[in-house]
Structure 1
Amino acid sequence: MSRHPPEIRSLWLACVLIVALISAIAAGILSWAGGMNPPMAVLAAAGAFSGSALLLLSLLKFALAAPE
């Protein structure tokens, strides 16, 4: 069971999703500026969002885990 209340966990989740969104926006803009057509740039942004969100959620789970 988690030692953090749901309010704190939802704030952490919001922070993770905001950082993932910023990462996706940057990837989409850089892909489009690099010559990709807009649909491919959106796909690159979607990949960056999902990858960074999963990575950050895994790191958050590791960092906030209760010591055994």
Structure 2
Amino acid sequence: MWVALILLAACIIGGIAGLLAHAGGSNVPASILTGGGAFAGAVGLLLAIAHYADVAR
């Protein structure tokens, strides 16, 4: 359950980052890479927080 919530939040973060990159003047492939990087970073950070908080058992 917690992993699904983390992935949902990371998808939202990645999508918003990609849209902001595109609105800022980046081309589409660069925006996709920006969104993917934000997704990966968010997943890593949120999983680390969940592990540290001992929530994801």
TM-score, scaled to structure 2 = 0.94
Deviant stretches of 4+, over 4 Å: none
RMSD value, Cα: 0.9
1:38 to 16, 28, 36: 28
Larger of the two Rg values belongs to structure: 1
TM-score, scaled to structure 1 = 0.79
2:9 to 19, 31, 49: 19
Shift of residue 64 of structure 1?
1.2
Instruction: Determine what percentage of the aligned residue pairs are the same residue.
Output: 40
**Matched length:** 55
Structure 1: gaps of 5 or more residues: 1-10
The secondary structure found in structure 1 opposite 2:3 is helix
Structure 2: gaps of 5 or more residues: none
